[in-house]
Structure 1
Amino acid sequence: MGRRHRDALFPPEGWRRLTSYVDIDPDHVAEDLAQEPSLAEVELLITSWGCPVLDEEVLARAPALKAVVHAAGSVKHHVTRACWDRGLAVSSAAAANAVPVAEYTVAAILFANKRVLDIGALYRERRTPLDWSRRFPGFGNYRRTVGVVGASLVGRKVLELLRPHDLDLLLADPHVDAEQAAALGARHVELDELVAASDVVSLHAPALAETRHLMDARRLSLLRDGATLVNTARGSLVATEALTAEAVSGRIHAVIDVTEPEVLPPASPLYSLPNVLLTPHIAGSLGGELRRITESALDEVERYCSGQPFRYAVHHAALATSA
């Protein structure tokens, strides 16, 4: 992993717990595995953001390697086919990282239906109370319709956190049927129906070839006037130009934490539009939330050392439809 990630993920108490399980040098961070002299003896790799690719050349220099514990979300950036061919056991902290993303998303949904950003901006401008119900007829969360796109780890957590609220929940996912959706507290519908019926559409699909620009100009046009699009998944799910055109028109609202490109050009209208909340990819684990990822990874190391299977094992077959 990158050294800065090591320092953020493993404070002294984390190192104390880790060194009680394994033989590891707390001062050593392997940022370049091609130049790593100790690979031949390594049985377990603890990885995170910034991990080099674990390809055939690296694995050939690591004959004792049996497992990878990833202290972050997706393993697609570094765990290659060669790892699966070797039969390595792989674990990920994606479930831990899903929690703050879901929390951010739920806050965005509830604020969107309550029109908190609009009312806050108007109140700041006018500095006097107005008849908010008249200004925003029907605003609020009671019996509003929220559409979740993708029953991913984050999508499922969002549905779980939304269940206590008096909302009508829809789910679109080609890998989930009506019975499975009902068990998650939602009604299964096709994507176009979900987009057209929802007051808020929240994206939680993986970035795959078939999901690129899932929300294109045609599908964005299906959104109700005044509806909100929330994207905390991947920027590639949304056609940026089409979203910008819809947002500039003022017809829809958007809460966007990820974009394509990842940093928009300085001239993009999305930075300054009053109906858009644009944040710089902060929904995932940051600050104190990293401790949850650390604890998840340490739990997996403990399980490995005691001969138990990983609780959050990653399976090669599942990667085709996951992040």
Structure 2
Amino acid sequence: MKFWKNTATIDALVPDLLNTVDAADAEMAVIGSKPIDLTAMPNLKGIFKCGVGTDNVPFEEAEKRGIEICMPSEQTKRYIFEETANFAVYLVFRMLFNEIGEVDGWVKQSRGFLGNKKVLILGQGNIGSHVTRKLAPSVEVMTFDVLQNSMDELKGLIQQADVISLHVPLMDATTGFMDTEKLSWMKDGAALVNTARGPVVDEDALFAEIESGRLRAAFDVFWQEPYQGKLKQFHPERFLMSPHVSSNCENFLTGLASDFVAFEARLNG
């Protein structure tokens, strides 16, 4: 099997992926979160997706050409849902405990009671619902999902939130969802957490808010990766960055590797 890839997610567990070919010769494409051009792959038999996001998976074109697509198995997805939710919760708490004082000079800073803090979870799918469940014992959780709520409710929820955590898929309707208007609804000192997809937030609008000092943010996903954009200058004080590691746990990677081996065997079948 000849491989082409745009991610190194499982390279350490699947040595065969260290040897790749040009797109034109590829029989299997191993993809992460970046888009692919199937027109450049005339010999492709299968696509293996290292993750659960589907915004860059060309389902319709693949079906027309008889190209098989393999998404993570249910067991592997369980790891990514849980661990991404765990990481999102960690970032939420990082934002809530952002200012605690300084060791130099032993300066202590008081804070409000955690139980009075309000966290808005935007999206109640596989990951957002896990985040809601995990945060509920510690803070006041508010939720919004387009399948469960009216858009008329959104402004009031955003205005109340101390932290907003994004868990919406990337599609035409959600690109730039958190725009200048919605960010302006956030109260002074509030924080935005994004473990979904970078483009669901308008980068220029967020830059203006971060630069002004009015808002803070913690992002694990970006508009381009690796991210070298203008918001990087505010890391870590006002724009906390991590290199897209929310699902990067050993169990998930091992599960992906097993799924890959099974998929390769099926294609070779």
TM norm structure 1: 0.64
User: Secondary structure, in 3 states, of the residue corresponding to 1:47?
Assistant: strand
Once the two structures are aligned, what percentage of the paired residues are identical? 24
- 1:6 deviation in Å? 4.5
**Which range moves more in the overlay, 67-76 or 233-242?**
67-76
Match of residue 129 from structure 2: 156
The amino acid that maps onto 1:176 is: Q
User: Secondary structure, in 3 states, of the residue corresponding to 2:223?
Assistant: coil
Structure 2, gaps ≥5 residues long: none
Distance 1:83 1:290, change over 3 A: farther
Distance 1:211 1:144, change over 3 A: same
- 1:297 deviation in Å? 5.2
User: Secondary structure, in 3 states, of the residue corresponding to 2:121?
Assistant: strand
| Among 233, 252, 259, the residue aligned to 1:292 | 252
Match of residue 251 from structure 1: 214
Would the aligned equivalents of 1:69 and 1:301 in 2 still touch at CA under 8 Å?
no
Distance 1:80 1:271, change over 3 A: same
- 1:305 deviation in Å? 8.1
Instruction: Give the length in aligned residue pairs.
Output: 257
Match of residue 229 from structure 1: 192
- 1:167 deviation in Å? 2.2
CA RMSD of superposed structures (Å): 3.7
Would the aligned equivalents of 2:119 and 2:141 in 1 still touch at CA under 8 Å?
yes
CA displacement 1:170-227 (0-9 Å, x = unmatched): 221212369xxxxxxxxx9832222112111011112222212211222111112222
Match of residue 73 from structure 1: 52
- Distance in 1 separating the partners of 2:190 and 2:34: 39
Match of residue 168 from structure 1: 140
Distance 1:80 1:228, change over 3 A: same
Matches within 5 A, 1:80-229: 80-85=59-64, 86=66, 88=68, 90-92=70-72, 95-113=78-96, 115=97, 117-119=98-100, 122-125=101-104, 127-130=105-108, 132-133=109-110, 136=111, 138=112, 140-163=113-136, 165-176=137-148, 190-229=153-192
Would the aligned equivalents of 2:207 and 2:231 in 1 still touch at CA under 8 Å?
no
The amino acid that maps onto 1:168 is: E
Would the aligned equivalents of 1:151 and 1:171 in 2 still touch at CA under 8 Å?
yes
The amino acid that maps onto 2:134 is: L
Distance 1:265 1:110, change over 3 A: closer
Match of residue 9 from structure 1: 13
